């Protein structure tokens, strides 16, 4: 039984999808930032994400990077929060000896033979399961599917 965790982060939460033998599970749906001082919550989040990976018996993690429009400049606060969450998920996976693949959206499109924005293809490739499907978990499901097709 193969277990892949797909992740698509925002500045407020990680949207998560667990695929078990190709089927999207209803849980987990998202991991919000813990409440607390910015630096202190990093340690809390790392411990909680490590526990989540262990509890779910995850074998592969797929972290989806953000869509980039060269005409748009990100505000540091938005980028920093998202990058921190992605880094914590990657770090927890590495410490648990779970392979991690960081996927540019172009790689997901290539592996799944898609054109255009990923969100346009959700209904055709994955069935919605649970909450936080748009935005977030649907794209995380596509990242997990692409990682499984590596």
In the predicted model, is pLDDT for residue 70 greater than 80?
A: no
Q: Are 144 and 21 in contact (CB under 8 A)?
A: no
How do residues 98-126 score in pLDDT, each as one tens digit? 999 999 999 999 999 999 999 899 889 99
What is the maximum span of the chain, computed from C-alpha positions, in angstroms? 43
Looking at residues 15-22, what average pLDDT do you find?
96
With cut-offs at 50, 70 and 90, classify the pLDDT of residue 74: low
CATH of the domain at 68: 3.30.420.10
Give me the sign of the Cα torsion angle 80, 25, 138, 131: negative
Specify the DSSP class assigned to residue 133: I
With cut-offs at 50, 70 and 90, classify the pLDDT of residue 72: low
Specify the DSSP class assigned to residue 121: G
How do residues 34-67 score in pLDDT, each as one tens digit? 998 777 888 899 999 999 999 999 999 999 988 7
Q: What is the mean pLDDT of the chain?
A: 90
Backbone angles phi and psi of 132, in degrees to 5: 60, 30
The distance from CA 42 to its chain's CA centroid, rounded to whole angstroms, is 17
Name the percent of the chain in helix, strand, coil, to the closest 5. 45, 20, 35
Supply the range of the domain harboring residue 94.
Answer: 3-148
Please count the structural domains in the chain.
1
């Amino acid at each position: 039984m193969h277990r892949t965790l797909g992740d698509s982060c925002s500045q407020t939460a990680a949207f998560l999808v667990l695929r078990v033998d190709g089927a999207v599970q209803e849980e987990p749906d998202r991991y919000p930032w813990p409440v607390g001082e910015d630096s202190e919550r990093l340690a809390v989040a790392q411990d909680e994400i490590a526990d989540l990976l262990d509890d779910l018996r995850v074998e592969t993690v797929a972290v989806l990077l953000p869509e980039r429009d060269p005409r748009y400049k990100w505000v540091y606060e938005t980028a920093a929060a998202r990058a921190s969450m992605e880094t914590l998920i990657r770090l927890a996976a590495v410490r648990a000896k779970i392979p991690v693949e960081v996927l540019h959206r172009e790689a997901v499109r290539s592996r799944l033979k898609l054109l255009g924005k990923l969100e346009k293809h959700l209904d055709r490739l994955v069935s919605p399961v649970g909450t936080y499907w748009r935005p977030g978990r649907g794209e995380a499901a596509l990242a997990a599917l692409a990682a499984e097709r590596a």
